[in-house]
Amino acid sequence: MKAVILAGGFGTRLSEETGVRPKPMVEIGGRPITLAHPQLYSHHGINDFIICCGYKGYMIKEYFANISFICLM
């Protein structure tokens, strides 16, 4: 099963955080918001994700290219 995660937008109401990074990469509890979705879905058997990036999408791509999911689950 696959899931599509929409991770775009400027995050204007979070302007103090989103000036340097996109809204999906704002950290809550030391982890980006976007990381919570794959972890939640994988618990229910969905392990294939497509993340549609918008504003500063390169930062999201770099993060997921360099992360080790083994240590997070």
> In 1-73, which ranges are continuous DSSP H helix?
15-18, 33-43, 57-66
Nearest Cα residue to 61 out of 41, 32, 39: 32
Contact in structure between 60 and 25 (CB atoms under 8 Å): yes
Give residue-wise pLDDT tens across range 49-70. 888 988 888 998 888 888 765 5
CA distance 11 to 30: 19
Give residue-wise pLDDT tens across range 8-26. 888 888 888 888 888 888 8
Phi-psi region of 56 (alpha: psi -120 to 50; beta: other; left: phi over 0): left
